[in-house]
Chains A and B, each alone.
Chain A
């Protein structure tokens, strides 16, 4: 492998890893703070991608679709937290698994009823529809660079929100001791609702910006969900920075696994997970 094709694979794996981070960070926050295992998190990614497809063909612009999609996904998040997830805080994991499993079935069938089961493409916006030339024959698509940049900006924003704002303080406090936060007079339910909506919006946003690259297809949610579970398991449950590191690791393992050992492409990620589990059964990081 020469330097430029190595560079391309490296950029691809970083882009994939950062995208996974957007989905996995919501998953790990929802677990770390609300104590809920959410199988339906992948569905939010799928919903995002389908919103990008439907809304961009309605409005004619992917950017307009993204703005509209974020608003809709926040509304969806607040609604779901109010209607369903708020009932789950005191239940055991088994019941959380079941309810969110039921949600996946509902979302998948609604998707099939509303949009159908076909694979759809989403156009890359014109401004970003060019490639950065690397050599005479190799080039790198600008849209992928844009994706990585946006994900990176969001990761930094998430860091600032959690470390530097009052909301972030409540989030950190809620994850370490929720009764104490409540008895200090903070509205923990509001924090839960915001965190959940944030998680939904992050996953849906990831789905929306990924849509032009990955296309939009049934089952995309589950695929992402399971890889994100691997990310969360490696990173340590509840840890956002663990999720970032793990997502980048998975991005590298998956991309280079496909290039170097194509026969075992689907399995490399899980082998990595097994190795890390042997080394650190609780994941790389413990706290948020």
Chain B
């Protein structure tokens, strides 16, 4: 049903809300990719924005200055670049556990941030503006036009549905089961003979590649990239989306992205210091609502039928 509503949305919504919902769907892809790590594999990454940013920069760097880029080629290149970066970082970080993993992923993400921020390689702190939207040409056939906001909307919508279905299939496959096994008890999986290190590395790489896809879409929608895409605020915000929606629940990431953007719009319409409200909300949420918004329903049920709490 939610899918149907999303599919029909551009018919009713104004341009502003169209773009906003497109943004939400891109963030939902980003959050879904992180859910593979946090919710399914049990690896809390605080540096996921690095791969989002790398995907975005891939478009910025590959797009010719005076011609539109080819959508399919640059998209594939962006996903490949982000995946490769995640593979390289993963070799170092997936050995680490728990708190260690959090710190190391943050540090590596910051390294990428400095590479884009301090060197002239990606336009420095100003980033890169793109003059053209990518063209979806297959040979001479052009199925849709990304200069049209509605077409962008449906393209992102299709990407979200694809990623969603892909991850759902993955989570039910033997690979996905193994990841969930690693989350609940890594030692047991190891003694059962699973190559835990390789499974974690594969999960990290895949999550990075999907984050790259989200980053690419964001660069495509807004037409520019800057180092802020890789900043650790971005990594914090996407974790927040995941928590808002609930971990390891596929639709949780989508709900979380939606609630996050709604909060951002709401708070920034009240005050320019909206991050103060956001920060306070996060603190209250953690203290008073462990388990995220997704736990509200079960808490409510417990309250009504008086079942004992866990």
Max chain A CB contacts within 10 Å: which of B110, B119, B280?
Answer: B110
CA of A95 to CA of B287, assembled, Å: 9
Closest approach, in angstroms, between the C-beta of A154 and any C-beta of chain B?
Answer: 24
CA of A278 to CA of B89, assembled, Å: 12
Binary flags per residue of B67-99, CB closer than 8 Å to A gives 1, else 0: 000000000000000000000000011011011
Binary flags per residue of A208-237, CB closer than 8 Å to B gives 1, else 0: 000000000000001000100110110001
For chain B, give the interface size range.
Answer: 35 or more
Whether A277 touches B282, Cβ cut-off 8 Å, given contacts A91-B290, A101-B236, A113-B273, is: no
Residues of A within 8 A of B103 (CB): 37, 229-230, 232-233, 237
Residues of B within 8 A of A94 (CB): 38, 44, 239, 243, 247
Q: Which of B76-130 contact A (CB under 8 A)?
A: 92-93, 95-96, 98-100, 102-104, 106-108, 110-111, 114-115, 117-119
Q: Which residue of B lies closest to A278 (CB)?
A: B92
A-B contacts, 14 of them at CB < 8 A, read: A91-B290, A93-B102, A94-B243, A99-B286, A99-B287, A102-B281, A102-B282, A105-B276, A105-B278, A106-B279, A106-B280, A113-B273, A266-B111, A281-B95
Interface of A is mostly: helix
Give B contacts to A, CB under 8 Å: 38, 44, 46, 92-93, 95-96, 98-100, 102-104, 106-108, 110-111, 114-115, 117-119, 232, 236, 239-240, 243, 247, 273, 275-276, 278-283, 285-287, 290
Contact A229 B99 (CB under 8 A): no
For chain A, give the interface size range.
Answer: 35 or more
Contact B243 A109 (CB under 8 A): no
Which of A97, A267, A273 has a CB less than 8 Å from the CB of B44?
A97
Binary flags per residue of A257-285, CB closer than 8 Å to B gives 1, else 0: 00000010111001001100110011000
Which of B93, B99, B110, B232 has a CB less than 8 Å from the CB of A31?
B99
Residues of A within 8 A of B239 (CB): 94, 97-98, 101
Closest approach, in angstroms, between the C-beta of A146 and any C-beta of chain B?
Answer: 30
Contact A104 B279 (CB under 8 A): yes
Interface of B is mostly: helix
Ranked 6 nearest A-B pairs via Cβ? A105-B279, A102-B282, A266-B114, A109-B276, A106-B279, A270-B111
Which of A102, A263, A273 has a CB less than 8 Å from the CB of B107?
A273
Q: A84-B287, A106-B283, A267-B111 are in contact. List 14 more A-B contacts (CB 8 A).
A: A87-B286, A91-B290, A93-B102, A94-B44, A94-B247, A95-B243, A95-B290, A97-B44, A98-B239, A104-B279, A113-B276, A233-B107, A270-B108, A277-B96
Contact B99 A93 (CB under 8 A): yes
